[in-house]
Structure 1
Amino acid sequence: MKIYTIILLLLLLGSPILAQEKNAIEWYSFEEAIALNQKEPKMVLVDVYTDWCGWCKKMDKHTFTDENVIDYVNDNFYAVKLDAENTKKKFEFKGKEYSEAAMARAMRVSSYPNFVIIDAAMENITQLPGYREPDVFLKDLSATLKQLTGE
């Protein structure tokens, strides 16, 4: 009887630890995504957000925690979070220095959330503005991926 109690106790104590190891989107900085893309070309998905954007927070809590979204984004993109109002964090892209806010303007983002997809050659971009439920987000990402790759 003692052994069953010990096993049950171990299972109960271990389950919160396992629950915390949930799969998540791998978010990179813009410069990390550029460096990774040079080693292994992949499209870049940029989540352009602001701290005050309620729909951005809903994407983080609802859509970006969906297992199917997590798997699809991690398999097909280098995911980047870009604060459209951050003027302090700077990085270099294509020989120019940008702040996150300047990059958001350069990508012509004017509403939030906005998802910018940059092809693996770091040339062509497509925008997917607005909040999306997980299934709709997956459908839109898949369609954009096919459009940009021709597959």
Structure 2
Amino acid sequence: MKTTLITIAALSLIIFFSFTSKPQKTEEKEINWLTITEAYQKNQKEPRKIFVDVYTNWCGWCKKMDKETFSDPEIVDMVNEKFYAVKLNAENTEPITMAGDTTNAQMIARSMGVTGYPTIVYIKEDFKTIQPVPGYQNAKKFKDTLEKILEWE
């Protein structure tokens, strides 16, 4: 009887503290996403390579890349330190003014050779396209590509 009461009391305390204690908050890192205009302006002051994540709202692989690849802590650190990262919705037709010209995201995506989603377009410091890379990339493959792009002259 005494052990039953002790067991019940212990279980009650465990249940009580599991509901009253606040969950530990872990700090999640995020990529500092910019618009294409912001990246262009920052690049004028501090040149860096740029990568543009060309996506659409309906693209499942784009969402998977957001969730799994772009949230990887190593990717986040590398991108935030060495690149300007741009999110570009390829279906957006709102005007974008950059370097005195007005265009839209749809036209920018086409001019960079994007034909499917997701596509990551790498751009040199002089704002010339290095290469569009279509398709989903896991964190390891994406990191390998970023390292190669950093070596690009």
Normalised TM-score (structure 1): 0.83
Instruction: Tell me the alpha carbon deviations over residues 46-79 of structure 1, each in whole angstroms, 9 at most, x when there is no partner.
Output: 0000111110000000001101111111111100
CA distance in 1, matches of 2:128, 2:42: 16
Q: 2:148 is matched with which residue: 137, 143, 146? A: 143
Instruction: Tell me the alpha carbon deviations over residues 25-55 of structure 1, each in whole angstroms, 9 at most, x when there is no partner.
Output: 0000111111111111001110000111110
Partner SS, residue 87 of structure 1? coil
CA distance in 2, matches of 1:132, 1:54: 13
Instruction: Tell me the alpha carbon deviations over residues 6-40 of structure 1, each in whole angstroms, 9 at most, x when there is no partner.
Output: xx9xxx43723xx2x31110000111111111111
CA distance in 2, matches of 1:137, 1:48: 15
Pair 1:104-2:104 in alignment: no
**Partner of 1:93 in structure 2?**
98
Q: 1:71 is matched with which residue: 77, 85, 98? A: 77
Partner SS, residue 116 of structure 2? coil
Q: 2:22 is matched with which residue: 10, 13, 17? A: 13
Partner SS, residue 28 of structure 2? coil
Partner SS, residue 71 of structure 1? helix
Pair 1:114-2:123 in alignment: no
**Partner of 1:60 in structure 2?**
66
In structure 2, the gaps of 5 or more residues are 1-16
Q: Could you list the runs of 4 or more consecutive aligned residues of structure 1 that deviate by over 3 angstroms after TM superposition?
A: none
Instruction: Tell me the alpha carbon deviations over residues 58-104 of structure 1, each in whole angstroms, 9 at most, x when there is no partner.
Output: 0000001101111111111100000000112x222343211111110
Pair 1:32-2:32 in alignment: no
CA distance in 2, matches of 1:108, 1:93: 19
TM-align CA RMSD: 1.7
Q: Which has the larger radius of gyration?
A: 2
**Partner of 2:57 in structure 1?**
51
Partner SS, residue 15 of structure 1? coil
- How much has 1:126 moved relative to structure 2? 1.2
In structure 1, the gaps of 5 or more residues are 1-7
Identity %: 43
Aligned 8 A contact 2:112 2:129 in 1:
no
**Residues paired across the two proteins, number:** 135
Partner SS, residue 32 of structure 1? helix
Normalised TM-score (structure 2): 0.82
